[in-house]
Structure 1
Amino acid sequence: MLKIQKILLLYIVITAVVLDIAINKQSGIQLMYSYMRNYTGLDPLGPEDVLRSGNGIIFLETSNRTELPSLILCAIESAARVYHDRPIVFFLKELSEINSVKDERITRRRYPTLSAFRNIYFFPLKPEEIFKDTPLLHWYQNINPKQEPYLVNNYANGCRLALIWKYGGIYMDTDMISIQPIAHFNFLTAQSPELSNNAVFGLSSHHYFTWNAMEDFAENYNGSLWGNQGPHLFTRVLEKFCNISNYEGVEDVICGDISYLHPQSYYPFSFGSWRKYYETWDEFPSFNDSYALHIWNKMNEEHNTMVPGSKTLIEHLYQKHCPTTYETLARNENIYI
């Protein structure tokens, strides 16, 4: 009888996977992970399992918070919708160790707007493991937090490089709202014609650019200079391989096997124009030339937020690209449990 039950369960799982592949066009291996996680008692998947295909979308939270603002939830939800056939992995510094299926489920349930997405995964951020076998381990082990005015930011700058070096895929800042999938595999982004930015980039695992960037990070580290380990680092390294100063129209620049994307791709508004997202518009921009929108939350010292009913551009973006988060806020329900 028990053998029959096991066979029946396996048949149900396989049938469900096949149906979901047909309906949702998701990859079979990713869906199998989801069903195994939801319907069996197997141990939880680690990041090396979820990200082993090299096509994951990676987010980081390097501060001590676990109660996340709605913009972060919107960023993750929008990515999960746009990249529905790819794993969305969120690493949090303060996340407790995940040792069982129950632990993982409990973590996801703390974020009601994300818990229904089977392609979203939460994992603790473990710096010693992330920086192992990279030029960044010595830096991490020897920094003095008391002498680091931008420690959280530089910690995040290092982690994103090491994670993409190890796993490959796309890294995104948590104030990036995805609006359409990007077709490029290896890409960097221009903030302006003269300046690259590391808020979003995609590279294969063990790519030469990532290793060069980690070496430059460690060799030319200056923790007191804002952006030295971020946008300026990417610009320095990219300039070693190609000319990044010229764009014609909104065409991208091809540099070896890397596409260097026009600022419109992710930064249609410059950092000095970040308030436009919180203004009302007679007609909302289409952003047809953008894959995602950098909201520039670092500039938002006024702590502006999305307000339901405000008719602002940011409200429009929430409604369109992270509707679960928007509807939860509009009903005045909790976004964190």
Structure 2
Amino acid sequence: MKKAHTLLPCLSGFFFPSLQAVSGEQALAGERMFRMPSCLLKLTRVVLSHKPWALFTLIFVLVSFTYIKLYLGIWEDPESRVPTYGLSAEISCDHYVPSALNITRGPSPSAGNVFFVETSKQTAPSYLFSCSVESAARTHPASRVVVFMRGLAKKNTSLPKHWAFSLLSCFPNVEFRPLNLIELFSGTPLAQWYLWPLRHWEPYFFPVLSDACRIVLMWKFGGIYLDTDFIVLRNLQNLTNALGIQDHDVLNGAFLSFTPKHKFMELCMQDFVQDYNGWVWGHQGPELLTRVFKKWCHIRTIESMSCQGVRALAPEVVYPIPWQGWKKLFEAVSASEFHKLLQNTYAVHVWNKLSHKTKLEIPSQALLAQLYSQFCPATYAKMKQDSEQLSRRAV
């Protein structure tokens, strides 16, 4: 069995080269090139010896590799697959963001940050992504709206050429930063969790990684965290140490608002590691927050309440459209119905994992179209322009 122990690292390096080190940045391409021939030679010698364990190991690795790649292909982050229809990267700020808007003063150092995180490596933001950031920037003119993106180059100060970056750069309080995960998780219980070599091969890696980022951001820096499928209707700064109830007895972390180093977020980080299960959807997200809140308050059922300084907000505050009724976003509503539905709402979660394949007519009276029009008008104007250009091209 001694040969098996020497063969397995070689096999893992051959089929999973990214697992040779904690990150690709820690290994040089030249070193891999020199190591690979010796591994292939070892592999050839062992397989040619016709020993059953060698053949079994090789078959097992091949089957595992094929299965994992297929599984990840099915469950990869859907937003990274959504096409964006921006036809030009050139944006006129005067046209899309009139100077009459009171956005020229920039953020105040005393105001809390609003955070967005993109854990996939995509750098072609969708209309919804742009709307989320724009609506947050408009409703929080005194706050920095910080967008962390894993796909941004760490040493390159220029943003990719895409209309969304040009448009959102018109807002002086919006900042785009590369997402350095090792740096973010350092000094927290999640540092060792992230460094496990096989972490990237779990079926729900992207959503779990997003769950990890948000609770660490809240604990380290405080402020407001929002998923990139929120449309913000009003300022969220007075919702401190709060999270929302998505439906009966379940909390959701798509919106979080906490002061730095809050004990609740510390407990969330501890639970993340101690009760970790990356193979169950939501276990590190809504289920984690629900578990911790119930322990925090010593309760069995969650209602709209405040407990030891942490608030569970009623569904209408940030989840007025339940995930089961996401299709309502694409239904036409009257102005009075629109106002009645959202009179107690601070932000609307669009449930992008469910709704991203549904076509939105622009312009229309659909609830989602009206949200775009009123709360991210610059993005909406770009959507209209692109829709008109595509229609002309189709003729």
Whether TM exceeds 0.5 here: the answer is yes
Counterpart in the other structure of 1:330: 384
Counterpart in the other structure of 1:241: 296
Gap change, CA 1:53 and 1:244, over 3 Å in 2: farther
CA distance in 2, matches of 1:136, 1:246: 27
TM-score normalised by structure 1 residue count? 0.78
- Partner AA of 1:70 in structure 2: Y
Q: Would you say how many aligned residue pairs link Structure 1 and Structure 2?
A: 283
Deviation at 1:185, TM superposition (A): 1.6
CA distance in 2, matches of 1:80, 1:127: 24
Counterpart in the other structure of 1:156: 210
CA distance in 2, matches of 1:244, 1:54: 35
Gap change, CA 1:110 and 1:24, over 3 Å in 2: closer
- Partner AA of 1:181 in structure 2: N
**What do the CA deviations read for 1:236-257 (whole angstroms, capped 9, x no partner)?**
001111137364xxxx411111
Counterpart in the other structure of 2:307: 255
Gaps (5+ residues) in structure 1?
1-22, 32-51
Gap change, CA 1:271 and 1:181, over 3 Å in 2: same
1:139-150 correspondence runs (5 A): 139-142=193-196, 144-145=198-199, 147-150=201-204
**What do the CA deviations read for 1:30-64 (whole angstroms, capped 9, x no partner)?**
36xxxxxxxxxxxxxxxxxxxx7571000011112
Counterpart in the other structure of 1:315: 369
Q: Which of the pair has the greater relative contact order for Cα pairs under 8 Å at 6+ separation?
A: 1
Gap change, CA 1:108 and 1:57, over 3 Å in 2: farther
CA distance in 1, matches of 2:111, 2:279: 34
- Partner AA of 1:80 in structure 2: A
In terms of Rg, which structure is larger?
A: 2
Q: Is 1:264 the counterpart of 2:323 in the alignment?
A: no
**What do the CA deviations read for 1:203-260 (whole angstroms, capped 9, x no partner)?**
111111111101100111111100000000000001111137364xxxx411111121
Counterpart in the other structure of 2:148: 91
Deviation at 1:95, TM superposition (A): 0.4
Q: Is 1:285 the counterpart of 2:342 in the alignment?
A: no
CA distance in 1, matches of 2:120, 2:152: 11
Gaps (5+ residues) in structure 2?
1-100, 389-395
Deviation at 1:309, TM superposition (A): 1.8
Gap change, CA 1:120 and 1:305, over 3 Å in 2: farther
Identity of aligned residues (%): 34
1:1-150 correspondence runs (5 A): 24=102, 30=107, 53=110, 55-98=112-155, 103=157, 111-142=165-196, 144-145=198-199, 147-150=201-204
- Partner AA of 2:227 in structure 1: D
CA distance in 1, matches of 2:184, 2:110: 18
Residues 62-71 or 276-285, more deviating: 276-285
- Partner AA of 1:60 in structure 2: V
CA distance in 2, matches of 1:212, 1:92: 26
Counterpart in the other structure of 1:226: 281
